[in-house]
């Protein structure tokens, strides 16, 4: 039996819709990262981007377990001395809830050009509306 390798031109991509309301952040992020990588498909090939497009809605209703809502912080550095910025989870959730899911998922993707291409197929929206109705995304239920 010969091994099958997916070729970039032959990849069939699907649009999937995920509702993040009352989902746990880490569990949602791992399932979305698997879909973006293409690991849920039988034609998965590690060196080819075979993943689907994922649209996540209701990012503002995401939840975290334990005491993370009070303790979790997001860090960024400008590159200058004293340029460390620290944003608490609660403030990030009220100002930019979509960035929470984007950062969680992109941290689970490869840190290569292939991983960056996979990250571009992730679309996250704070509310229930999204502009991708023309692609007819299929609603999927994530376990957990």
Helix axes 97-106, 25-37, angle to 10 degrees: 60
Domain residue ranges of the chain, discontinuous segments joined by +: 13-139
Residue-level pLDDT at 89: 96
Q: Tens digit of pLDDT for each residue in 11-51?
A: 999 999 999 999 999 999 999 999 999 999 999 999 999 99
DSSP tag of 74 = E
Question: Domain 13-139 has what CATH class?
Answer: alpha beta
Q: Tens digit of pLDDT for each residue in 84-136?
A: 999 999 999 999 999 999 999 999 999 999 999 999 999 999 999 999 999 99
């Amino acid at each position: 039996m010969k091994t099958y390798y997916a070729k970039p031109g032959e990849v069939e991509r699907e649009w999937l819709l995920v509702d993040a309301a009352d989902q746990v952040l880490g569990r949602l992020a791992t399932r979305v990262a698997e879909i973006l990588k293409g690991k849920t498909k039988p034609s998965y090939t590690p060196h080819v981007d075979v993943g689907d497009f994922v649209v996540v809605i209701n990012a503002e209703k995401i939840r975290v377990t334990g005491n993370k809502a009070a303790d979790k912080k997001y860090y960024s550095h400008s590159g200058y001395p004293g340029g460390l910025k620290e944003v608490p989870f609660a403030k990030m959730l009220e100002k930019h809830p979509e960035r929470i899911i984007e950062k969680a998922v992109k941290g689970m993707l490869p840190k290569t050009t292939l991983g960056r291409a996979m990250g571009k197929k992730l679309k996250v929206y704070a509310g229930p509306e999204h502009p991708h109705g023309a692609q007819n995304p299929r609603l999927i239920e994530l376990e957990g």
